Structure 1
Amino acid sequence: MNILDSKGRLFGKLSILDFGAAVVILLVIIGIFFIPGSPSPLAQGGSGQPIEVDVIVRGLSVRNPLGFIETLAAKERTNIVLRNQPSGSVEIKSVTPLERQVVVPQPDGSAAALPDPRPFEYSADMMITLGGNAQITPNGPVLGNSQVKVGTPIELDAPEYNFRGSVIEVRILE
């Protein structure tokens, strides 16, 4: 009995093209499930060097601004989202309310920053200091899978709130 007949079938029953396709599918399945790749050092959470990130939030609409700031300061941790990618949980180190100011021209032609007299009953401005562990790369610290730099929009997320701020300082702690 011949291994390959005149119609290109193996042992007279299976087409050589079908056999090749089955081998390729089998190799793909083995590659996906049985030979995992090495984990990326950027995707490892919980390890790395401690950092602190200052985030500024301006004009957050909330019913009771001071009560919200106190509630946020009492929380220990919050989830963050960087560049629309969940980047894990970080510690809330401090929350500082910011006073709104307005530039007022002076009679001598100079300008002075004075407290804004307009009532902002439903708006909060604050600076939040977050702490966590990040991988330090040549391009800067990486939280989750995203780099953290000054100007990066950061989203704080919890069951009670979801809002965005902007990173104004990143400190790598020793």
Structure 2
Amino acid sequence: MAILDSKGRLFGKVSILDAGAALVIMLVLVGIFIFPGTRGSVAQINETKPIEVDVIVRGLGVGNPEALIKQFEEEKKTNIIIRNQPYGQVNIKSVKQLPRTLAVPQPDGSVKELPDPRSNFFSADMIMTLSGQATITTDGPVFGNNKIKIGTPIELEGNNYNFNASTIEVRVLK
């Protein structure tokens, strides 16, 4: 009796394709249950540390920037939303308004940064330092379920404001 007959069956009973499919399924099951992998999940690491996050706000349309900055300094807290996921409240450690400047070409070909002489000051640029507790993972700090890294957009929300900022620095405190 031949091992393989004219119809492609082993010993005349089992098709080679069926045997190959059964072998692949068995190898997949062995791979899933016997060698499940060595990577852990984020949920296994529960180290929480205080962090500071510097965010930059560019071109915020506001009628009275000084009053908004004063409000930040008095309230000392704001709600943040990261990637459309509300995180909760964080502390506002500091707010620094950036001066409005223009790049002005000079006669010798160089460029100088000079104060903006225009009187329309209905926009503000500022750097805010936010502080709070974050879970520290191997990939970096996590607020809620969102990683916080340089470039992460953060939405700040309060009683009378809602605007976006971009993360420019993340510091894990000891």
| Alignment CA distance shift 1:136-1:120 (3 Å) | farther
Q: Distance in 2 between matches of 1:138 and 1:114?
A: 43
- The residue identity in structure 1 corresponding to 2:74 is A
Q: Which residue of 1 aligns with 2:28?
A: none
Q: How does 1:32-47 map to 2 (within 5 A)?
A: 41=43
Q: Distance in 2 between matches of 1:152 and 1:119?
A: 33
Aligned residues: percent identity?
Answer: 55
Q: Which residue of 1 aligns with 2:107?
A: 107
- The residue identity in structure 2 corresponding to 1:71 is Q
SS of corresponding position for 1:48: strand
Q: Distance in 2 between matches of 1:167 and 1:52?
A: 11
- The residue identity in structure 2 corresponding to 1:73 is E
- The residue identity in structure 2 corresponding to 1:142 is V
Q: CA deviation at 1:49?
A: 0.5
SS of corresponding position for 1:72: helix
SS of corresponding position for 1:91: strand
Q: Distance in 1 between matches of 2:68 and 2:88?
A: 22
Q: Which residue of 2 aligns with 1:57?
A: 57
SS of corresponding position for 2:150: coil
SS of corresponding position for 1:117: coil
Q: Distance in 1 between matches of 2:43 and 2:87?
A: 14
Q: Distance in 2 between matches of 1:158 and 1:65?
A: 15
Q: Which residue of 2 aligns with 1:154?
A: 154
Q: How does 1:18-97 map to 2 (within 5 A)?
A: 41=43, 48-97=48-97
Q: CA deviation at 1:115?
A: 1.3
Please list the CA deviations of residues 112-166 of structure 1 after superposition, one character each: whole Å capped at 9, or x if unmatched: 1111111233211111100001111111110111011111110011222111111
Further displaced range: 119-128 or 81-90: 119-128
Q: CA deviation at 1:61?
A: 1.1
Q: Which residue of 2 aligns with 1:140?
A: 140
Q: CA deviation at 1:91?
A: 0.5
SS of corresponding position for 2:103: strand
Q: Which runs of 5+ in 2 are unaligned?
A: 1-41
- The residue identity in structure 2 corresponding to 1:147 is K
> TM-score scaled by structure 2?
0.71
Q: Distance in 2 between matches of 1:41 and 1:98?
A: 39
Q: Distance in 2 between matches of 1:114 and 1:129?
A: 26
Q: Which runs of 5+ in 1 are unaligned?
A: 1-39
Q: Distance in 2 between matches of 1:92 and 1:168?
A: 15
